[in-house]
Structure 1
Amino acid sequence: MKNVVVIGGGLGGLSAAISLATKGYHVTLLEKNNHLGGKLMPVQLGEASFDFGPNTITMPDVFKEVISQTGENPDSYVEFIKLNSHTRNFSPDGAVFDFSSDQEKMVEQLATIDPVGAKNYPAYLEEVTRLYKMGESQFFRRTFTSTGDYLSPGLGYSFSKVRPLQSLHRFHRKYFTNPFVIQALDRYATYIGSSPYVSPATFGLIAYLELVEGVYYTKGGNTKIAEGFEKLARKLGVKIHTNCKVTSIEVKNKQAVSVSTEDGEKYPADTVVMNADLLVAYPELIKEVDRPHFSDKKAAKFEPSISAYVVLAEMNKRHTELLHHTVYFSSDYKQEFNSLFQDKAYANDPTIYLSNSSFTEKEKSPNGDNLFILVNAPATSPHNENAIDYKELIYETLAKRGLSLKENVLAEKVITPKDIKTSFGAFRGALYGMASNRKTDAFFRPRNKSADIANLYFVGGSTHPGGGSPMVTLSGLNVANAISKANK
């Protein structure tokens, strides 16, 4: 039985571990933190519990597939709840636009605030559905392990059909006229850590997931996905070691032969799967001489995605104006992204996202709302390594918009880009690895297999098919299939 060592227990690593164990491999998973799930981390404050990491869940069938492939019933491990009107958007002047997978509700709202958009909405859904179906059939399930994988004629044709040269913002302007409606839809670029003014219209496919298939919440908290995966992995015989920091990968004759950890242990390996952020972990764990195609200089050149400044707040009050997801938009969205990507600085007038899972499941916070408050932040750099005290600006901005929180906070915790960098080994604190602002990074992320080390594979948000919990989970499924195929 071949030994596979998986470095990192995020959703991609767990997905790969479960899939490989099902295929008969002996799998050992090493995770440096004391929890599994990566950024999908549970946090407890007072009597309130929070999910740090993915708050918006789409594509539940991907998570179920990881479980069902083993012959187990997914419903025994995780339960998804579909949210109807899932995201409330507030414009700078107080207008409200609720996102829903109910087309009639969307058209009814648009008829009031954007009559042209209401008329075009069915055509918009038709186009984002086409983009999604193209991505699903040509990109999501594809593993890129060599240069030849990028040169497929079929892939080139598909690439030309997904609006690669049009920005997401220009795409939305084709269907809608109200600036606030466009702004609300443009926010989908932040799901991949990028700017809507430069990232490709291809990512309009995210609108399909939210506005057609719908948004979900995991009963008990989204961290239950990771807990379910861990339970199944252990049942399948995966050996899981938490609080276990990997320090190096030994390479001989262009093969990874073992993985060493901080506590002095060495794990022999026939195959290694790296779920850690490859832009950080690959250079850290493997000598540069063993990876000539991925030098330290090359790793440093990637543009990081946006990071996040997060305030977790247990409240003593429930705010009726908040849904499970709520967004208060900036009065100058373009300037916000200019600040983040060009100036590498925090925006003076930020867009503020709030997740309130107790809206759906009151047990998560018995005393009031459990607010996960997120503001887009620049990735860390030498001049902004220590984040400014942004919390007061966030509270002041929300108060000006009619949401007064400060006096009702029972407990709070701040998480900065530096914390994200340190806790999760994230490239400059980025949430999604590299940004998708450049076409090469949007469509040609680092491949799923090392060009220099024959048995080293990559999963997670910094490789194909990209960031977001369903995509990283898919990367684990894809790589497990590639490993199995290579060993036949």
Structure 2
Amino acid sequence: MKKHAVIIGGGLGGLSAAIKLQATGWQVTLLEKNNDVGGKLHEVVIGSHHFDFGPNTITMPHVFREVVQDAGENPDDYFTFEKLDVHTKNVFADRSSFYFSSEKERMKEELLKLDPFAADKYEDYLMEVENLYSLARQHFFHRTFSSWKDYLSLPLAKAMARVKPLTTLDAFHQQFFKDARVRYAFNRYATYIGSSPYTTPATFGLIGHLELVDGVYFTRGGNHRIALGFLKLAKKLGVTLLTNTEVTKLEVKDQRIVAAITDKEQRITGDKFILNGDLLTQFPRLVDKQHRPHFSLKHVQPSISAFVIMAAMKTRLDLHHHHVFFGENPKREFTQLFDDQKFGDDPTIYICTSSKTDETLSPDGDNLFILVNAPPLSADLNEKREPSFVIKERIYDQLEKRGLAIRDNVVNDITVDPTTIAAKFHAFRGSLYGIASNRKRDTFLRPYNAAKDISNLYFVGGSTHPGGGSPMVVLSGSNVARKILSG
């Protein structure tokens, strides 16, 4: 008889684990509370305008392709990636700008406009971030962690010492970039993991290697096609998929999960259980306290959240595929977000307009995905926040000062705030990445991939190892599946 794995949550981590296990002889049942799989990576449609809600920037395409290849299939039958050689336009408060590109000579030319020192040091920078990436790939990305003993490895300890854990990302960038504007653009990598560049370790400089050497990609038809491709493969392999089905309790006996109980009063038994969701909210929601004595939310610092506007336009605007408008003082914005727990008063505004690469996604005008960093929700449930429409109008004001005629050309728009993110994705205090990486221990000692008090429960997703971001989430699923298969 086949062994049975039950996966709670159909995000990218749950899907990658499901595919790996099903392809190697297990029977998998995947339970998803929403109508669609993919978690945050799903499509939003406003009339003829199509948006990706989830990650708009795709790196490490090989990670997604390997999930399909390892199951014996051709990735090109499931999704296709297009490289964006010149991928992001960075615009500063003084109206100066430069582009990010994976073409080295183009980057040198761009840097030379603002920072000749940076142009001269750029190859040294690339060598440093390649080294950070190589160490992470060799020692961190493909491992699971079940207890502190998993860190007692001499090669791992040496690697951890070499990835600059005691240097902040901003301090690291100061070695290569003298102009503050250039540093603002590179420091933004910290927001990819929901953190501040002024406190998060320089380890995450490796993102520079991913974007500026490996490159930034777009999935033809929209990035949500990755999730749809995984879904197609999971169904082909025989995964049992139950959507609109929320798990309400995990039944524990003798320190093992014996069944998942759903809101439809189903009792689904299994040999192994995988929780793909924000474990900071889902583990305590699904497992009674008496069965998880080692789990605690004390001293947890949530990552930043987001305020999103998806604006369907009736015209084309002068925007790049990825476009970033920086305020006068981005450092102050991080202080406001993390220390003051409030929106920046002059925030960095990111806009993804995928119609610049694929007009079929928005044939009647641009599809603006506008994102501003937001503080996570307060632990105080009675916290009063500004209404979403007030924040939206403020963002439109700021963009119109930058020369973008938003209000005159918007057909319709949808806003998503931290409260919505918390409700739809069970996200801890509305955070996008679970725990922030502002403290060294939270960078390297993220929640383990296996429950400490329950022998057959595993965790995948952005709130566990190896961390946030769609490639890391996919790796967490594959890593845990391998751990289960190895016994």
TM over 0.5: yes
SS in 2 for 1:299: coil
Instruction: Verify: 1:316 aligned to 2:314, yes or no.
Output: yes
| 1:248-300 deviation per Cα after TM superposition (whole angstroms, max 9, x unaligned) | 00111011110000110010011000001100000000011101110xxx225
Q: Counterpart of 1:287 in structure 2: which amino acid?
A: D
Aligned to 1:29: 30
Aligned to 1:261: 262
Distance of 2:199 and 2:177 partners within structure 1: 18
Aligned to 1:240: 241
SS in 2 for 1:16: helix
Distance 1:483 1:385, change over 3 A: farther
| 1:128-177 deviation per Cα after TM superposition (whole angstroms, max 9, x unaligned) | 00000110001000110122102212111100000000000011011111
Contact 1:167/1:200, CA 8 A, preserved across alignment:
yes
Aligned to 1:412: 413
TM-superposed CA distance for 1:386, in Å, is 4.1
Aligned to 1:326: 323
TM-superposed CA distance for 1:70, in Å, is 0.9
Equivalent positions of 1:413-452 (< 5 A) are: 413-452=414-453
Aligned to 2:303: 305
Q: Which runs of 5+ in 2 are unaligned?
A: none
| 1:349-406 deviation per Cα after TM superposition (whole angstroms, max 9, x unaligned) | 1100000000000000011110000000000113546454310110111111222211
Aligned to 2:462: 461
Distance of 2:40 and 2:94 partners within structure 1: 34
TM-superposed CA distance for 1:469, in Å, is 0.2
Contact 1:344/1:379, CA 8 A, preserved across alignment:
yes
Q: Counterpart of 1:241 in structure 2: which amino acid?
A: L
Equivalent positions of 1:373-392 (< 5 A) are: 373-381=370-378, 382=380, 384=383, 386-388=385-387, 389-392=390-393
Aligned to 2:138: 137
Aligned-residue Cα RMSD (Å) equals 0.9
Aligned to 2:358: 361
Aligned to 1:335: 332
Distance 1:403 1:275, change over 3 A: same
Q: Counterpart of 1:285 in structure 2: which amino acid?
A: L
Q: Counterpart of 1:342 in structure 2: which amino acid?
A: D
Contact 1:387/1:418, CA 8 A, preserved across alignment:
no
Aligned to 2:206: 205
Aligned to 1:472: 473
Distance of 2:99 and 2:148 partners within structure 1: 44
SS in 2 for 1:20: helix
Same amino acid, percent of matched pairs: 53
Which of 327, 331, 341 does residue 344 from structure 1 map onto? 341
Q: Counterpart of 1:143 in structure 2: which amino acid?
A: T
Q: Counterpart of 1:202 in structure 2: which amino acid?
A: T
Contact 1:345/1:384, CA 8 A, preserved across alignment:
no
Distance of 2:48 and 2:134 partners within structure 1: 43
Equivalent positions of 1:73-152 (< 5 A) are: 73-152=74-153
TM-superposed CA distance for 1:302, in Å, is 1.0
Distance of 2:405 and 2:302 partners within structure 1: 33
Distance of 1:401 and 1:165 partners within structure 2: 38
TM-superposed CA distance for 1:38, in Å, is 0.1
Contact 1:305/1:435, CA 8 A, preserved across alignment:
yes
Contact 1:358/1:364, CA 8 A, preserved across alignment:
yes
Aligned to 1:41: 42
TM-superposed CA distance for 1:97, in Å, is 0.9
SS in 1 for 2:140: helix
Distance of 1:59 and 1:330 partners within structure 2: 29
SS in 1 for 2:145: coil
Contact 1:385/1:418, CA 8 A, preserved across alignment:
no
Aligned residue-pair number: 482
Distance of 2:100 and 2:311 partners within structure 1: 24
Distance 1:384 1:311, change over 3 A: farther
SS in 2 for 1:457: strand
TM-superposed CA distance for 1:317, in Å, is 1.1
Contact 1:116/1:175, CA 8 A, preserved across alignment:
yes
Contact 1:386/1:418, CA 8 A, preserved across alignment:
no
Q: Counterpart of 1:53 in structure 2: which amino acid?
A: G
Aligned to 2:282: 281
Aligned to 1:176: 177
Q: TM-score, normalization: structure 2?
A: 0.98
Q: Counterpart of 2:322 in structure 1: which amino acid?
A: H
Q: Counterpart of 2:269 in structure 1: which amino acid?
A: P
| 1:68-103 deviation per Cα after TM superposition (whole angstroms, max 9, x unaligned) | 011100000000000011000001111111000001
TM-superposed CA distance for 1:301, in Å, is 2.9
TM-superposed CA distance for 1:347, in Å, is 1.0
Aligned to 2:65: 64
Contact 1:379/1:428, CA 8 A, preserved across alignment:
yes
Distance of 2:376 and 2:435 partners within structure 1: 10
Instruction: Verify: 1:370 aligned to 2:367, yes or no.
Output: yes
Distance of 1:386 and 1:462 partners within structure 2: 25
Distance of 2:202 and 2:405 partners within structure 1: 36
